[in-house]
Amino acid sequence: MGGVYFRAMVWIQFVVCALLVVLVGSRLSFYGDVIAEKSGLGRVWIGAVLIGAATSLPEMATGLSAVVLIKDANLAVGGIVGSCLFNLVILAVADVAYKKRSLLSSVTRGQMLSAVLSLVMMGMAAFTLVLSRWVVVPGILGMQIPSWLILLVYLAGYRVILVHERREFQSEDIYLHLPASRAYWVFALLSLTMIGLSVWLAYLGEGISKVTGWDTSFVGAIFLAVVTSLPELVVSYTAVKLGAVDLAVGNVFGSNAFNVAILAFYDLAFRGNFWGGLGLLHLLALTSAMVLTGVTIGAMAYPRRRSVMGVGWETPLILGGYLITTWFLFLLRGR
């Protein structure tokens, strides 16, 4: 009887926490759009950097809790790579919600930079994961060398995007009635609230792994990834409804790039050979996310009007790729 009660409580808490994440994330899009106008940095950069980082706080806090408190690096990394994969599904959902034309056909060219950066960073993580199976990668100041390279690529990439966006930005003066200080403070408070919810999620992920008997890599890649990506989903959907298409798409690519950068902080917090101790199951989700990111880059490079059931041609490919990858992750969950 006690076991049944424990299992029920774990799932109830999981649902409650997910709903709270959605409620908090629902306002991030609006205030992010305000900051994009007030700061003059543009929707691509704000979506990719500020919104992308803020909506990735659940992944970061959840993963750090898993690494430091629970001592389970695979749960943390599973949440990251699974989130990168699920974030691309958000583009498909936003495409369905965007009625005018194909979503990726409506964005500015600056989104190509964010997409390519996220693709390169995921490729670096996948290469390091494979390399670490054969050699012990040396470390410097508490982090292995690939983690330092990932951080440097992230910072350099968004420096390039910042320069591009400052040159292209044109203010629309939509939020003249809202003071900039209010937008910054509310945004900061929402982000801090998200961190607290994320720590809770880390313990729930471990609890789900125990009551189901599933591998923590699988639990992280599916359950934690979906819930911690709910802010991205809510933010991007709300941004599309506001007409801020670049903010919506930039949030997805920015979140994926920031997610990979988070792996460096996991390495710093982990005591031991971080990359060498990870399971190869993560490689499946990473590879799939890279392929689907390539599909989105193709959709932006060769834009088309809606052609497949009222959505862009890339949307069925993204949804199909995600479902197939999830099925294989489920089949391999205990190995």
CATH of the domain at 249: 1.20.1420.30
Q: Is the pLDDT of residue 214 over 70?
A: no
**Number of folded domains that form the chain:** 1
Give the mean model confidence (pLDDT) for residues 153-178. 73
pLDDT grade, residue 291 (50/70/90)?
Answer: very high
Check residue 197 and give its pLDDT.
74
Which residues contact residue 279 at a Cβ distance below 8 angstroms, ignoring those fewer than 6 apart? 74, 215, 217
Q: Is the pLDDT of residue 235 over 70?
A: yes
Could you tell me the sign of the dihedral formed by the alpha carbons of 27, 33, 35, 161, in that order? positive
Q: What is the Cα–Cα distance from 70 to 314, expressed in whole angstroms? A: 39
Check residue 282 and give its pLDDT.
85
Nearest to 224 by CA among 134, 329, 153: 329
295-to-125, 141, 155, 160, 323 alpha-carbon distances in Å? 19, 37, 24, 23, 16
Could you tell me the sign of the dihedral formed by the alpha carbons of 158, 159, 163, 166, in that order? positive
Q: What is the Cα–Cα distance from 233 to 251, expressed in whole angstroms? A: 9
pLDDT grade, residue 126 (50/70/90)?
Answer: very high
Q: Is the pLDDT of residue 296 over 90?
A: yes
Is 308 in a helix, a strand, or coil?
Answer: strand
pLDDT grade, residue 41 (50/70/90)?
Answer: low
306-to-57, 295, 298, 299 alpha-carbon distances in Å? 34, 16, 15, 11
What is the number of other CB atoms lying within 10 angstroms of the CB of residue 193?
A: 16
Across 40-44, 194-198, 208-212, 294-298, which has the greatest mean pLDDT?
A: 294-298
Give the mean model confidence (pLDDT) for residues 84-92. 88
Q: What is the Cα–Cα distance from 324 to 318, expressed in whole angstroms? A: 10
Element housing 99 (H / E): none
Q: Give the dihedral of Cα atoms 32, 195, 261, 42; nearest 10 deg.
A: 10
Q: Is the pLDDT of residue 149 over 90?
A: yes
Torsions phi, psi for 264 (to 5 deg): -65, -40
Is 176 in a helix, a strand, or coil?
Answer: coil
Check residue 286 and give its pLDDT.
92
| Higher per-residue confidence, 61 vs 267 | 267
Check residue 237 and give its pLDDT.
79
Instruction: Pinpoint the alpha helices (H) of the chain.
Output: 2-25, 28-39, 43-45, 52-55, 57-68, 73-97, 110-131, 145-168, 180-212, 216-219, 225-228, 230-242, 245-269, 281-301, 314-331
pLDDT grade, residue 248 (50/70/90)?
Answer: confident
**In the chain, what percentage of residues exceed pLDDT 70?**
76
Check residue 173 and give its pLDDT.
58
Q: Is the pLDDT of residue 27 over 90?
A: no
Give the mean model confidence (pLDDT) for residues 15-26. 76
Is 142 in a helix, a strand, or coil?
Answer: coil
Which residues contact residue 150 at a Cβ distance below 8 angstroms, ignoring those fewer than 6 apart? 121, 124, 125, 260, 261, 263, 264
Nearest to 279 by CA among 123, 139, 132: 132
Cβ–Cβ < 8 Å for 254, 116: no
The domain containing residue 70 runs over which residues?
2-331
Across 194-203, 212-221, 241-250, which has the greatest mean pLDDT?
A: 241-250
pLDDT grade, residue 125 (50/70/90)?
Answer: very high
